[in-house]
Amino acid sequence: MNLTSEKYQVMPELTAEEFAQLKADIVQRGVQVPVEYDEDGNILDGYHRVRACRELRITDWPRVIRAGLSEEEKWTHARKLNLARRHLNREKKQDLIRAQLKATPAMSDRQIAEGLGVSDKTVGAQRKEMERTAEIPQLKKTIGADGKERPRQVERRQPVSIFLPTSRHEEETRELIRAAGSGSGPARKAIESLARLDATPRTAKSEFIKIQERQNPRPAPAIPAGCYRTLVADPPWRYQDSNTRAAAEKHYGTMSTEEICGLPVKEKVNENAHLYLWTTNSHLPEALQVARAWGFTYKTMLTWVKPQMGLGHYFRGSTEHVLFCVRGNLSTKDNATRNWFESPRAEHSQKPEVFYQLVEKCSPGPYLELFARRKRPGWQAWGNEVGGE
């Protein structure tokens, strides 16, 4: 990647005095305005900031990646930023407006004005002059955003912006953007989801994989064959509330209660077996339904108590529950274990180690975990994140 790419440098070089002032400001305050790049690493805005950093032997600076812009939109974006930030005289402003009119003569005066941050009257005056000198055609009709013909209107898209405070994960982020594509539809939604990440950049790759899987779901792997005595399951419950559902589906694909009930669990477990079925406070009725569908009878409940306070409509949730269910007649190995345990919250949906220790203490193997997020020694694991083996 050429960090000093001048492709979208729409303005002349700074004077020696202006450039010296820029360097002095960077020495004193650092780079205050992030350098803007497209997804291919071309500089859309900040060429002089990068050049100053290189001369000062500064190797890192804040950056923003603008994804999903057409070539025309990249030029428009670069011109707008220069018009907004530079102290330009009238002649230089007119040069930028004229360059935009040459590039997009079918765009209405109002849309060009909005894009460049100037008045539509200013754009109209330049258009008339350029039409008079035949620098641009005199267009009677253009195609609007809705596909209809009307005077000088074209559709404009907003860029998707991904802020990176340093360059540490820049190449990985560009790779993910290129993999998603920059068009409309599902690929565009994937980029937008990536741009909305509030996690650290190192999670971008795993998050992007989840986005792809939600858009192109893989067939679920077969549940491992066996005759398991203990089953642990943490179903991806689907929430009715749209906000809660959106938050859950940011992390994993969800399933309806009917889909969970329909899994072929009965033939995978011993006629005498234990089930530890994770559920949320709002899904207790559905969890009981799933237990019955899988051939188990509810016996009691375990509760995970979390030190941190969570969300909730009526009360702030600080617990998760595990329905303990039995198939046939199978007692626990230890009858002196209390029905609650305490542990801090870990990664989203990850269950605490103390829970697995409790299961192994109280229930016999072989063990199978459904909807597992990672493999555990001595257990079989099933789920999209670990495969079927």
Tell me the CATH number at 252.
3.40.50.150
Q: Are residue 232 and residue 253 in the same domain, yes or no?
A: yes
The answer to whether residue 124 scores a pLDDT higher than 60 is: yes
300 domain-assigned? yes
The confidence score (pLDDT) of residue 103 equals: 75
66 domain-assigned? no
The confidence score (pLDDT) of residue 386 equals: 61
The confidence score (pLDDT) of residue 342 equals: 92
140 domain-assigned? no
The mean per-residue pLDDT over the stretch 200-206 comes to 48
Structural domains of the chain, count: 2
Whole-angstrom Cα distance, residue 154 to residue 133?
A: 24
**Is pLDDT larger for residue 166 or for residue 13?**
13
Question: pLDDT confidence of 115, banded at 50, 70, 90?
Answer: low
The confidence score (pLDDT) of residue 121 equals: 82
Residue at a domain's end among 150, 184, 215 = 215
Structural tokens at position 38: 């497209």
Whole-angstrom Cα distance, residue 227 to residue 263?
A: 16
The mean per-residue pLDDT over the stretch 190-199 comes to 54
The mean per-residue pLDDT over the stretch 53-78 comes to 86
374 domain-assigned? yes
The answer to whether residue 259 scores a pLDDT higher than 70 is: yes
Range of the domain at 193: 174-215
Question: pLDDT confidence of 81, banded at 50, 70, 90?
Answer: confident
Q: Are residue 198 and residue 291 in the same domain, yes or no?
A: no
50 domain-assigned? no
114 domain-assigned? no
352-358: Cβ within 8 A, 24+ apart: 352/304, 355/304, 355/322, 356/232, 358/302
Q: Are residue 258 and residue 371 in the same domain, yes or no?
A: yes
**Is pLDDT larger for residue 132 or for residue 257?**
257
Show Cβ contacts of residue 361 under 8 Å, excluding neighbours closer than 6 positions. 333, 334, 337
Q: Are residue 267 and residue 293 in the same domain, yes or no?
A: yes
Residue showing tokens 């702030």: 316
Q: Are residue 300 and residue 190 in the same domain, yes or no?
A: no
- How is residue 299 annotated by DSSP? E
Q: Are residue 246 and residue 196 in the same domain, yes or no?
A: no
The mean per-residue pLDDT over the stretch 258-262 comes to 91
- How is residue 365 annotated by DSSP? S
Chain-centre distance of CA 36, in angstroms? Answer: 20
Which of 21-35, 91-105, 312-326, 366-380 has the least mean pLDDT? 91-105
Most confidently predicted of 78-87, 114-123, 169-178: 114-123
40 domain-assigned? no
The answer to whether residue 279 scores a pLDDT higher than 80 is: yes
Question: pLDDT confidence of 284, banded at 50, 70, 90?
Answer: very high
Whole-angstrom Cα distance, residue 162 to residue 108?
A: 29
pTM of the complete model: 0.48
Q: What percentage of residues in the chain have a pLDDT greater than 70?
A: 69
Q: Are residue 183 and residue 302 in the same domain, yes or no?
A: no
Q: Are residue 190 and residue 298 in the same domain, yes or no?
A: no
